[in-house]
């Protein structure tokens, strides 16, 4: 009998502890997921900004994360000449969006800088390489 009572009390304590801890577990898991999402978002935005020579913070205003993933997928399947043409098309589309939203962006897409290095991007511009 005492053993049976002890087992019931033990089970009760276990259930009570789990019920007490459950909200903390759920909340902490949610924070971890939010942090991963924030890191992923920052990463793709930085990639877009570097790829299209955009000022920091403009990526999400001109392209969605879904569009970026699709852009990357297509680029991987193309030859270098096809990528060049496709990049021009995407850049033109982004220029239209930028114009509608009152955002200034480089006139030429990455990889289209003039030979003198004055393509308007973030790079050093043809200095002693």
Task: For residue range 46-104, list pLDDT tens digits in order.
Answer: 888 888 888 888 888 888 889 888 988 999 999 999 988 998 898 888 889 999 999 88
Cα dihedral sign, 72-73-76-79: negative
**What is the pTM assigned to this prediction?**
0.52
Give the Cα separation of 77 and 60 in Å (integer).
24
Higher pLDDT residue, 12 or 59?
59
Q: Where are the alpha helices (DSSP H) in the chain?
A: 2-51, 59-62, 65-76, 80-100
Q: State the Cα angle at 109 between 41 and 80, rounded to 5°.
A: 95
């Amino acid at each position: 009998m005492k053993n049976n009572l002890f087992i019931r009390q033990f089970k009760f304590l276990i259930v009570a502890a789990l019920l007490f801890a459950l909200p903390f577990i759920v909340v902490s898991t949610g924070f971890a997921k939010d942090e991963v999402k924030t890191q992923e978002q920052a990463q793709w935005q930085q990639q877009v900004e570097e790829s299209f020579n955009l000022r920091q913070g403009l990526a999400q205003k001109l392209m969605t994360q879904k569009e970026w993933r699709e852009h990357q997928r297509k680029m991987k399947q193309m030859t270098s000449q096809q990528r060049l043409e496709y990049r021009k098309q995407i850049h033109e589309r982004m220029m239209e969006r930028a114009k509608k939203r009152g955002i200034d962006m480089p006139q030429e897409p990455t990889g289209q800088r003039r030979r003198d290095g004055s393509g308007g991007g973030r790079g050093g511009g043809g200095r002693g390489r």
